[in-house]
């Protein structure tokens, strides 16, 4: 990382490519497209549970991952980060797409994906050029950038460590979307640098053995809990609840 990364002024987004309307945001980003839904409320509930946890342990950098692909880790990271930004107008919230293999944060939010984390770690741009501010919200996003040829090496680099040290100093909350645990070493690497790891599990889909293997693979990383995704809601007298819930 260059010296410019350390200057506070570089943490002001220079590329404001936020979508002009919610129509450009993927409909699965329910904290934006369906904020009154039960599913959106579950993301807010998850956020406030994590807030309570911060009373007993530091949790500024939170990595979100899953055992395997297709469990909803990226949707969880995006919706959780947006819930955080909306819950606290005085906090600076950052979402980093650290999935250098098949990152999807930019596509979900209607951003261009480059320049992003890949270009940052290769010293191609200063951090201000990799930041996007979302629709005037307190949420700032670093997309994944171009596909990396050496994603594990990039995430294990000294540059990644320095970047995380810098964002710790300039943001109040940082959410990291990282690749699934079992196929790659990436999640264990980033999880070891974070204050906490949240494991997303798809209800009635992810085999229990995969969850156990993921927890074992993350040994040493600070796992703070699990999100049970796509769980059928309990019928408490309301009808028409079709959105996936987060537990």
Q: What is the CATH number of the domain that holds 174?
A: 3.40.50.300
- Per residue in 121-178, pLDDT (tens digit) is 999 999 889 999 887 678 999 999 999 999 999 999 999 999 999 999 999 999 999 9
Chain centroid, CA 233 distance in Å: 24
Q: What local confidence, expressed as pLDDT, does residue 4 receive?
A: 39
Cα distance between residue 66 and residue 227, in whole Å: 9
Q: Is 16 left (phi over 0), alpha (psi -120 to 50) or beta?
A: beta
Q: How many CB atoms lie within 10 A of CB 51?
A: 14
- Domain tally for the chain? 1
d(CA 83, CA 60): 15
Query: pLDDT by residue (tens digit) across 158-173?
Result: 999 999 999 999 999 9
Domain encompassing residue 211 = 3-233+242-246
pTM, two decimals, is 0.88
Q: Which of 199, 197, 208 is nearest to 229 (CA)?
A: 199
Tell me the per-residue pLDDT of 197-247, one tens digit each, with 9 for 90 and over.
999 999 889 999 999 999 999 998 999 999 998 876 654 444 433 444 444
* Cβ atoms of residues 157 and 121 within 8 Å: yes
Residue pair 177/103 in contact (Cβ under 8 Å)? The answer is: yes
């Amino acid at each position: 990382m260059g010296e410019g990364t350390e200057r506070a002024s570089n943490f002001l987004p220079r590329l404001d490519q936020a979508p002009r309307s919610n129509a450009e945001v993927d409909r699965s980003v329910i904290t934006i497209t369906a904020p009154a839904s039960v599913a959106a409320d579950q993301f807010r509930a998850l956020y406030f549970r994590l807030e309570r946890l911060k009373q007993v342990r530091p949790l500024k950098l939170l990595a979100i991952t899953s055992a395997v692909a297709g469990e909803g880790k990226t949707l969880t990271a995006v919706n959780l980060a947006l819930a955080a930004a909306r819950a606290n107008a005085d906090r600076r919230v950052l979402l980093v797409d650290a999935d250098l293999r098949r990152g999807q944060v930019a596509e979900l939010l209607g951003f261009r994906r480059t320049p992003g984390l890949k270009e940052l770690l290769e010293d191609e741009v200063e951090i201000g050029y990799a930041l996007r501010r979302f629709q005037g919200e307190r949420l700032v996003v670093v997309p994944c950038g171009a596909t990396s040829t050496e994603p594990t090496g990039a995430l294990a680099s000294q540059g990644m460590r320095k970047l995380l040290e810098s964002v710790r100093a300039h943001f109040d909350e940082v959410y990291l979307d990282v690749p699934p645990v079992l196929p790659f070493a990436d999640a264990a690497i980033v999880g070891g640098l974070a204050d906490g790891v949240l494991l997303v599990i798809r209800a009635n889909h992810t085999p229990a053995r995969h969850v156990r293997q993921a927890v074992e693979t993350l040994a040493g990383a600070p796992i703070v809990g699990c999100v049970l995704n796509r769980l059928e809601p309990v019928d408490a007298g309301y009808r028409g609840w079709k959105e996936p819930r987060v537990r």
